[in-house]
Structure 1
C-alpha cells in the first residue's frame, strides 16, 4: 500500500509503479467509483464511436497545407 497527499485542488499523484501496472499514461481519462467505504479508480473505457472510426490512425508523410493557402488559386480558367 502506498500513501500520497491530496493537494488544495483535489489532485493526487498516482505512484509510478501503479501507473505502469495499469498502463496509465499522461492525458488518459480515468473513472472514479464509490465502492462502499473506498474509491475505485479505473482507466476510462474509450467510446465505441472512437473505436469504430479509423480517423487519425494513419499519419501522412506529406507536408501540411499552410493555414493561409488559397484553394481558389488551384482553379484553372476554361478556354
Structure 2
C-alpha cells in the first residue's frame, strides 16, 4: 500500500488498515521512529485504560454546586 504526503504533512491511511486497527475519526495515533522506518500505532487513551468503567456514565441530573454543605441535610433527632 502506498500513499502521498500532502503539503500539510497529512496522509490517508488505507481503509483496510483503519478497519484492522480500529482507527476511526477522532482516534489519536502515535508515531515512533524505529531504526530506518516510522511506526504508527493507536495511542492509548484514558477511555481504553479505564478497566473499571467508573465515570463512563453521565447523569441526567443537574450537578451539585461546589459550595453545597452536606451537613446542612442532617436533621437533629428528637
Task: Output the TM-score relative to the length of structure 1.
Answer: 0.63
Q: For the residues of structure 1 that align with 2:4 and 2:23, how far apart are their CA atoms? A: 19
Unpaired segments of 5 or more residues in structure 2? Answer: 63-78
Please name the residue that 2:25 is paired with: 26
Sort the Cα spacing of 1:36 and 1:14 in 2 relative to 1 into closer, same or farther, 3 A: same
RMSD between aligned residues: 2.4
Structure 1 residues 24-68: Cα deviation after superposition (integer angstroms, max 9, x where no partner): 1100000000000000000001138x726733x3255x5x98xxx
Q: Which residue of 1 aligns with 2:39?
A: 40
What stretches of structure 1 of length at least 5 have no aligned partner? 66-79
> Does 1:54 find its partner at 2:54?
yes
2 CA distance for matches of 1:37 and 1:16? 25
SS of 1:5's equivalent in the other structure is coil
Residue matched to 2:9: 10
Q: Distance in 2 between matches of 1:46 and 1:59?
A: 19
Give me the TM-score of the superposition, normalised by structure 2: 0.63
